[in-house]
Structure 1
Amino acid sequence: MTTQLTSTLNGLDPDVLKELADTVAADASQGKMAFRVSTTWVEGGRSIARVKSFDLGNETIERDFHLVIDEPEEAGGTNLGPNPQEVILAALNACLMTTFTVLCTLEGIRLEKVDIQSSGQLDLRGFFGLDANVTPGFQALDWTLTVRGDATEAQFQKIYETAIAVSPNVWNLRNPVAATPRLQVES
């Protein structure tokens, strides 16, 4: 019996990443992903979001996660979880961090630290419909990625620019996404 040792870099296996990229390059259908989240209202501003599975290529991958989302007490909530805007910022940070880390790993760059601080500003006049000239969402998003590792500043800058260009959540926040809203009323 032979034991295959896997070599990891930054907690990722570069061979697995390269194999996935090669699989998608050879068959684009294997790169198709579909995500689903169901969210149930609990009370007030609190809800529970559940993730049960996602699709990758022709395969459904089972998962089991939940996230409590709430509003701070100052906004009528019970402060038992992050609010929806904080979840968006967390998703932006996590996606950009993953993208950056994967790109560094594929380049053979060892990371010691990656940290992202983000902020978003919105105006409640838009949320409450008090001023038609104020949008209900973020008016601005800002973030700073701080990194330390064995690459030069120029190498990190190039990877950072690539990460911003290919991060799904950066793209989702910068571009309109087709949405098909529906309402189902139960009796």
Structure 2
Amino acid sequence: MFSTLNHIHVNELKNTFEKLKKNERSSIKKVNLSFDWLTKGKKQFNATLFYEEGSQNLFVDNPKVTGGNGKAPTPLDICNFSFAAMFTSTFATFCSLKGIPLKKLKIRSTLEIEFAKVTGVDMSKPPINSFSIILSVFSDHNSKEELQEIFELTKKRSPIMFMAQNSIPVTTKASIQMKPSKKESNSKKINNIDIEEILKTREYFKKNPSDSIIPCIIEGEWIFDKNEGPQFSAQIGYGNGKNLKLFTDSRVFLGGESTSPFPIQYFLAGISCCLLTHYAYASSLRGIQLDHLSIESQIDENITAEFGLNKKSIIPEISFHFEVGTDQGIDVVKEITEDCILRCPITYLLLNNFNVDTELLVNQSFAHTFEFGNSEKKCFLM
């Protein structure tokens, strides 16, 4: 019997499984995060992700063509990274519980974003055109059928698949701190957003509607070379040829060592930044200067349901609380908040039963390797 397999501490995982069978009430884990929109500076977001062994500062930004500074990965990059990490982690976990050793495990997650909707050019279109996941696994295990069974189980139990394929309750509220409007000295920017660039991008999509569907692609891999430290990594390209490598690790009770933020933290960070982006954009396009803007987000995760010990919702609820410093009244704030929910691709994914195209490759690599520099359209992603 393996104590550690595929960089997962199986004994710890089985102990958690037994505890959950005895006490379901301890199975709901609440994950909280606060994010601030930086109304000035070279990046647009900042937050600290806390985990058992430490913390990590996470900066997020938008490309210049959508009014950002291009100084960090985008909100959609962070979300898609979390999707890839969640799916891969679930597959590796179930393989380890079955005693199946893996040699290599890679994933490609692709979101096709409809920027005609995201930018407000055509509100009749859905903000996500398609979502696909390809998993490549190398193993000496002699049963491809069993690997396929685990893949099918992953499609049911991974939090990202559950969120995409079921309508998740999303609650929002907004609090106002009345502040006098302050005009920035640089008239091109409002709320750290270059309005001229946004308007140029919108005009481009009006004239070139066939270009409005843009892929966000993440390729990541499970780390096998040692049984300590982070379990999953992916390299994210941004700006003008820059790259950032992100890592995740499972919590200790799920067989990891909590040496990095866990996947759902990245998901909450990505969707929070996506919502803040749309709030700041909508305010800026209305000429509203914000004194400050922040969001408090919470996701409830049912670990017992992930293990298949009950048939309850894996993600019972997600909530967002906007805190806005503005000279505008509550009606305007509510209107902008509702606009955020409509335009954000990730909230669309949560609120609708979305089909995810999936494929398992056994002892096969991807047909081709995605290279960030080969996708000119990628620069538009926010």
**Structure 2 length normalisation: TM-score?**
0.43
Kindly report which structure 2 residues correspond to 1:127-166, keeping only aligned pairs within 5 A, or say none.
127-135=118-126, 137-151=127-141, 152-166=143-157
**AA of the residue aligned to 1:13:** H
Distance 2:59 2:128 in 1: 22
Distance 1:116 1:49 in 2: 27
- The counterpart of 2:101, out of the listed 94, 110, 118, is 110
Distance 2:144 2:168 in 1: 34
Per-residue displacement from partner, 1:108-140 (whole Å, max 9, x unpaired)?
A: 1111111111111112211122223112x3221
Distance 1:81 1:155 in 2: 40
- The counterpart of 2:74, out of the listed 48, 65, 83, is 83
Flag the structure with more relative contact order, 1 or 2, with Cα contacts below 8 A and sequence separation at least 6. 2
Quick check: 1:36–1:51 contact (8 Å CA) kept in 2?
A: no
Task: State whether structure 2 residue 179 is matched by structure 1 residue 181.
Answer: no
In the other structure, the counterpart of 1:3 is none
- The counterpart of 1:37, out of the listed 33, 38, 59, is 33
Shift of 1:82: 1.8
Task: State whether structure 2 residue 86 is matched by structure 1 residue 95.
Answer: yes
- The counterpart of 1:74, out of the listed 65, 79, 98, is 65
**AA of the residue aligned to 2:112:** Q
In the other structure, the counterpart of 1:50 is 48
Quick check: 1:37–1:52 contact (8 Å CA) kept in 2?
A: no
Unmatched runs of 5 consecutive residues or more in structure 1: 1-5, 54-60
Distance 2:139 2:123 in 1: 47
Q: Percent identity?
A: 23
Unmatched runs of 5 consecutive residues or more in structure 2: 179-382
**Structure 1 length normalisation: TM-score?**
0.84
Per-residue displacement from partner, 1:7-29 (whole Å, max 9, x unpaired)?
A: 31111111111110111111001
Q: Cα–Cα, structure 1 residues 173 and 65, in superposed 2: closer, same or farther, change >3 Å?
A: farther
In the other structure, the counterpart of 1:7 is 3
Quick check: 1:10–1:101 contact (8 Å CA) kept in 2?
A: yes
**AA of the residue aligned to 1:80:** K
Say which SS state the counterpart of residue 175 (structure 2) adopts: coil
Distance 1:167 1:82 in 2: 24
